[in-house]
Amino acid sequence: MIKDIVIVNTGASNISSLKIAINRLGYEVSVSKNYKKIRNSKKLFLPGVGNASHVIKFMKNKNIFEEIINYKNPILGICLGMQLFCKDSEESKLGEVINTLNIINNSCILIKNKKLSVPHVGWNNVVHNNNILFKNIFQGERFYFVHSYIVPINKNTISSTFYGEYFSSSIKYKNFFGVQFHPEKSGKSGSLLLKNFLLV
């Protein structure tokens, strides 16, 4: 059994449902904003509910920012957590583009189609490329989304979803995995995805 699984306390996220989902899989997990504990973890979750500029500021103040960039073990960014892997984001209280973690050389942008309801809330289909994250998960399986910003399709995209246009519903770069949807709120398929990540 894997030990030293940590959920990053970003100061903005509602992480109780993620912790419960991991516990239900039989794993112990802690929630921390201590940079040493984050550095020494074997698996790391960067959850996401909140504002990008606020979370980046919080992580820098807690000395977490550089720890995430230099992290060598598997890490899963969820929703905002995935978006923070980009080089910059349009999500800011002041409306300007802010620099994020710069793990992947892509920008996180606002859903701009005025014909669509924003945020994108609810269940939607995910088409994947059979990455290990989606082992035993059917093509087109539905996952639960809540977001106003997207990461466009890019070379690190491992699954896509359509909402007015196709966007990256998950990405992978080296040890960095990201999902735009919320696996902890996505029933059996979400649980399986979390398990797949923990077994990477």
Burial class (CB in 10 A: 0-12, 13-18, 19+), 89: buried
Distance CA 192, CA 196 (A): 6
Active-site annotation holder among 66, 67, 79, 165: 79
State yes or no: is 182 an active-site residue.
yes
Q: Which amino acid is at 128?
A: H
State yes or no: is 86 an active-site residue.
no
Active-site annotation holder among 120, 128, 147, 182: 182
Cα atoms in the 13 Å half-sphere on the side-chain side of 197: 32
State yes or no: is 108 an active-site residue.
no
Active-site annotation holder among 67, 91, 141, 184: 184
The sign of the dihedral angle between the CA atoms of 133, 136, 140, 144 is negative
Show Cβ contacts of residue 4 under 8 Å, excluding neighbours closer than 6 positions. 40, 41, 42, 43
Residues with a known catalytic role: 79, 182, 184
